[in-house]
Amino acid sequence: MSMNHLAEKQKKHSPAGNDIPDEWFKPKEKNESDSEKVVRPSLSYWQDAWRRLLKNKLAIGGLVFLILLTFMAIFGPMFSPYSVSESVRANQNQPPSLSHWFGTDNLGRDVFTRTWYGARISLFVGLMAALIDFFIGVIYGGIAGYKGGRTDNVMMRIIEILYGLPYLLVVILLLVVMGPSLMTIIIALTVTGWVGMARIVRGQVMQIKNYEFVLASKSFGTKTSRIIRKNLLPNTMGPIIVQMTLTVPTAIFAEAFLSFLGLGIQSPYASWGVMANDALGTILSGHWWRLFFPAFFISATMFAFNVLGDGLQDALDPKLRR
């Protein structure tokens, strides 16, 4: 099509066959209210992290499982008419049924009730170990990373010494001195358990302490404790939360392992490790339910915490924020 033909066609469709009128190209009227309108809602760091966590279906599944587990650990025994130590000889090694949902053990005790009492102990040990690691590790690592120099060298040498102590040796020595109990297990888990948290906090603080807002606080004469509490710790909470999430399953497995060896919770108290130890000799006799339920909940709880920790690590990573 030639240029002359295009010009003739344009004149045909334009008013009066003339050029395109100027009113067709009037600028859009400005509206003051539109200038204040936000196209995309502003999200804080934690809101954006929660939005990204919701997209991780596996992590959300782990979170839902842990919520249900906590609910059953608190209220589960109320759904059973049997107590944790009630022994009925006539009900020895009964398979799962309507009267005993998870079956019974060799003493006629209800496995359903004992499983949820074991969940209480396992979750308590895991959460207490994580909280103690949090307080000791954050304070120790924060001071070492902020001070630096000789103070940091001395504090890190102490961490290396504690890290080199054999774990089982520490547990056995504590059991000999204090006796087997729940408190002994928690102390044994936290004697050296806070070392990993301290290392993570130290590394984060050493990186953040050279940022401009921290240097500005120093120039105004702010106290060291306030700088650590107000400026440094809030910016390291992401890795700290992830480390706490991964500490809980480690402590749960350690408690189950020690109880399985007979070094932890003692009968008649219920623990997943104690239940697994009691059921170990019944595998060949066909009483599978006695080992299946404690082993299943140990594995499922550790898996749920691990996938939740991985999801939080991705959600709290500022590099992935959009």
260-275 pLDDT per residue, tens: 777 777 766 778 888 8
By mean pLDDT, which of 8-17, 37-46, 294-303 is the weakest? Answer: 8-17
Query: What is each CA distance from 310 to 49, 63, 163, 281, 285, in whole angstroms?
Result: 13, 12, 24, 36, 40
Residue 191 lies in a domain: yes
Structure tokens at 22: 């100027």
Residue 103 lies in a domain: yes
HSE, side-chain direction, 13 A CA sphere, residue 100? 25
**Treating both helix axes as pointing N-terminal to C-terminal, what angle do 182-191 and 111-147 enclose, rounded to 10 degrees?**
30
Query: What is each CA distance from 288 to 97, 100, 276, in whole angstroms?
Result: 14, 15, 11
Residue 23 lies in a domain: no
Cis ω for the linkage preceding 268 (within 30 of 0): yes
Task: Give the chain's domain count.
Answer: 1
Predicted confidence band of residue 19 (pLDDT cuts 50, 70, 90): low
Choose the most confident range, by mean pLDDT, from 90-99, 152-161, 163-172. Answer: 152-161
Predicted confidence band of residue 6 (pLDDT cuts 50, 70, 90): very low
Residue 116 lies in a domain: yes
Specify the amino acid at residue 177: V
Residue 209 lies in a domain: yes
> Of all residues in the chain, what percent are helix, strand and coil, respectively (each to 5)?
70, 0, 25
CB burial string 153-178: b at 16+ within 10 A, e below? eebbeebeeeeeeeeeebbeebbeee
Cα separation, 43 vs 38, in Å, equals 12
* CATH number of the domain within which 188 lies: 1.10.3720.10
pLDDT score, position 235:
77
Residue 109 lies in a domain: yes
Strand, helix or coil for residue 6: helix
The answer, yes or no, to whether residue 67 has pLDDT greater than 90, is: yes
Domain holding 228, by residue range, is 63-86+96-320
